[in-house]
Structure 1
Amino acid sequence: MLWLELFGFLIVILVAAEVFVNALEHLGEKLKISEGVTGSLFAAIGTALPETMVPLLAIFAGTTDAAVNEEIGVGAILGAPLMLSTLSLSLMSFAVLKKRGVNGHYNPEHTGLTRDMNFFLIAFGLACAAMFVPHDNGTARAVFSFGMIFIYFIYVLMTIRASADLVKDGHATEAEGEMLFNKVGIPTNMPTIILQLLLGLGLLVAGAEGFIHGIQQAAPILGISALLLSLMIVPVATELPEKVNSILWIRRHKDTLAFGNITGAMVFQGTLLPAIGISLTPWTPQPAVFLGVVITLIAAAWLRLMLARGQLRVWHLWVNGALYVIYLAMVLA
């Protein structure tokens, strides 16, 4: 029964992703914004809501055991960027392997993707450094937290500022096909686009939350601790919206949207969520946690290096997937 429930919520997520992606493309086209803004900001923030809620709920309204709440909170905060930078990126490569081949190319808009990775590496590097700040040094931790928030603010400003020039260069968001609402006789305008967007987002959140609940029930059966649960299992569910959205886009050759959806979420979750963790949890370099941070930084640095070389190939993202396998092997050994 539990596995049937999990399968049902997975179907909800898949349907919701299609509804959300369809509405988001029409919103971006209507607003005449670049694919970078649509993917890195709108899609990334929207689909990041499920995994954003997990650490907040764990810290503020979790179990009666404060230590367990903090473990789940820290694990969920750091597990999301780990999953995005490794498994999520590699899944895109398998989604296009048949059509593009092992040495096939990705064609995202490079300046936006490079900006995403630069901001993420800086912010997540600071989050790593903050682990070595004593918990009783409130001033230093406050400086780190404020710095993370400020970094995301600057990132948003730069992404929006670059939009107009990208639209002129042919990187405007273009919807593929008509609105799903239109197929049932509802006209396409801004209110109906927003309505379909909210419907898709609501289904994404509900599906992900239901999936999380089911996985938490399955965890004791698998004999996994709260920390490993939040680092390894919860992100599988909470990152499903990003994975599915990006796979849909990459298969349609919308590479900028596909990558931006993931890397934009990485920036969001590598700045604002660690700011919460630094302020409200011990934020110490426990072995499983610190290893996850290091693997995440290596995966992000690898993608940034391949971008710098000018040609991003299908097989390059297999390295990211291999890093996730290495992480699992080391923490479960």
Structure 2
Amino acid sequence: MTLLHPLFSRILAIHAIILALSFAIILAGSEFFTNGVEWAGHRLHVAEAAVGSLFAAVGTALPETFIPAVALLTGRDSAAAHTAVGLGAIVGAPLMLSTVAMCVMGVAALVFRKRRGRIALKVVREDARRDIAFFFPVFLCLVIAGTVEMGAVLRHVLAVALLIVYASYAVVMLRLKRAAGTQLVHGLYFESILRGNPLEPRASATAAQVIVGVLAILIGSVEFVDQIVVFSAYAHLNPGVLSLLLSPLATELPEKYNSVVWIRQGKDHLALANITGAMVFQSCIPVALGLAFSPWHLTSPELLAGSIALASAAILYLNVRDSKLGTPALMIGAAAYAIFLIGLWRLGAF
């Protein structure tokens, strides 16, 4: 054992370096994507609410959609384990968004209070409540559906229904009008790199930056999850619980970081829309994959996660009473996630 110890430590150090690099790739990709998608929305004259809730939310939700898709569509030799990983990632994403992501926004508001000249977030009440009103009933029905036996036909019907629901949401968002006089003060990064005019970016440069940002987020998130799994192999958690805890931690980083970037810039409405829009996406598209390619039987930890996500969303809806969202309302997310961890412990999950 003493001979293997230095080698073992060296291997762990290598994995730690790869983990840190993958995290850095996610953050860099999110910075490029956030900046690029803002300019894409500006060029297309899309309302800022749609930029945050639709464009940014869908783009940054790709990692957490990619991971359960791979888990559910591969691994025929260990189908049960892959299904558990897929369902854990699907249910864990809304939980992470409605709890930890909200807390991160609250912390960002405190950290950048001098730069912003305020602490409370200035948000658009109608936009936030619209997203939550889409998310809550859909996710509630799907959590309940995870407790009953469903045949393949019914599951596929529900999957198609979810696609229709999200398409309807997208239509509603794209019909919103962009506020007159909306200007962007941060130029396009790619144009600065290419020595063009960052405040009048070309369509090709904008598209290239968005694509590079998405690819960086995807590559970084997948590698981040892989490295966390290596570190957590000694925790003796079942695959579903491991995925429920770790997959969302990595794959929701883009939403969290994008929101921090926008809060730093004083664009609080975009920061919140990025999170709530991702919640709508997570309640439809990944769940449709789960319904289509798994029995959709939710275990006790997954039902606990779904219940807390719904409770947190309801609390957020009640707190968005006007155009301000205070830090205490956001910090409730940390308490909700702590309750989730305590619940897992009481269930004997770890």
TM interval, shorter chain, is: over 0.9
131, 144, 154: which one pairs with 2:158?
144
Q: How does 1:1-333 map to 2 (within 5 A)?
A: 1-62=14-75, 64-100=77-113, 104-135=119-150, 137-162=151-176, 164=177, 166-168=178-180, 172=182, 174-187=183-196, 188-308=201-321, 311-333=324-346
The one-letter amino acid paired with 1:26 is W
Report the Cα distance in structure 1 between the residues aligned to 2:214 and 2:241, rounded to whole angstroms.
Answer: 28
Q: How far has the Cα of 1:310 moved from its partner? A: 5.8
Q: How far has the Cα of 1:132 moved from its partner? A: 3.0
Q: How far has the Cα of 1:196 moved from its partner? A: 1.1
The one-letter amino acid paired with 1:87 is V
Secondary structure of residue in 2 paired with 1:250: helix
Q: Are the counterparts in 1 of residues 72 and 290 from structure 2 also a CA contact under 8 Å?
A: no
Question: Whose Rg is larger?
Answer: 2
Q: How far has the Cα of 1:307 moved from its partner? A: 1.4
Report the Cα distance in structure 1 between the residues aligned to 2:184 and 2:77, rounded to whole angstroms.
Answer: 47
The one-letter amino acid paired with 1:330 is G
Which string of whole-angstrom CA distances, capped at 9 and with x for unpartnered residues, describes residues 175-228 of structure 1? 332221222334321011101111111111111111111112122123322111
Report the Cα distance in structure 2 between the residues aligned to 1:143 and 1:199, rounded to whole angstroms.
Answer: 35
Report the Cα distance in structure 2 between the residues aligned to 1:310 and 1:26, rounded to whole angstroms.
Answer: 25
Q: How far has the Cα of 1:309 moved from its partner? A: 5.9
Which string of whole-angstrom CA distances, capped at 9 and with x for unpartnered residues, describes residues 113-155 of structure 1? 11100000011011112113313x3343333223222211111
Q: How far has the Cα of 1:96 moved from its partner? A: 1.2
Report the Cα distance in structure 2 between the residues aligned to 1:238 and 1:16, rounded to whole angstroms.
Answer: 12
Q: How far has the Cα of 1:325 moved from its partner? A: 1.1
Which string of whole-angstrom CA distances, capped at 9 and with x for unpartnered residues, describes residues 15-47 of structure 1? 111111121121122122211111111111111
Structure 2 unpaired stretches of 5+: 1-13
Which string of whole-angstrom CA distances, capped at 9 and with x for unpartnered residues, describes residues 220-266 of structure 1? 12332211111011111111111111111111111111111111111
Q: CA RMSD in A?
A: 1.8
What's the TM-score once normalised by structure 2's chain length? 0.88
Report the Cα distance in structure 2 between the residues aligned to 1:99 and 1:186, rounded to whole angstroms.
Answer: 30
Report the Cα distance in structure 1 between the residues aligned to 2:112 and 2:213, rounded to whole angstroms.
Answer: 29
Report the Cα distance in structure 1 between the residues aligned to 2:87 and 2:289, rounded to whole angstroms.
Answer: 9
Q: Are the counterparts in 2 of residues 126 and 144 from structure 1 also a CA contact under 8 Å?
A: no
Identity value in percent: 33
Q: How far has the Cα of 1:112 moved from its partner? A: 1.5
Secondary structure of residue in 2 paired with 1:308: coil
Which string of whole-angstrom CA distances, capped at 9 and with x for unpartnered residues, describes residues 269-295 of structure 1? 111211221232122231101000000
Secondary structure of residue in 2 paired with 1:259: helix
Report the Cα distance in structure 2 between the residues aligned to 1:130 and 1:95, rounded to whole angstroms.
Answer: 36
The one-letter amino acid paired with 2:44 is L
Q: How far has the Cα of 1:100 moved from its partner? A: 4.2
Q: Are the counterparts in 2 of residues 17 and 241 from structure 1 also a CA contact under 8 Å?
A: yes
Q: How far has the Cα of 1:311 moved from its partner? A: 4.0
Partner of 2:3: none
Count of aligned positions: 326
Report the Cα distance in structure 2 between the residues aligned to 1:217 and 1:17, rounded to whole angstroms.
Answer: 24
The one-letter amino acid paired with 1:182 is E
Q: Are the counterparts in 2 of residues 28 and 35 from structure 1 also a CA contact under 8 Å?
A: yes
Structure 1 unpaired stretches of 5+: none
Q: Are the counterparts in 2 of residues 33 and 167 from structure 1 also a CA contact under 8 Å?
A: no
Q: Are the counterparts in 2 of residues 105 and 314 from structure 1 also a CA contact under 8 Å?
A: yes
Report the Cα distance in structure 2 between the residues aligned to 1:63 and 1:239, rounded to whole angstroms.
Answer: 27
What's the TM-score once normalised by structure 1's chain length? 0.93
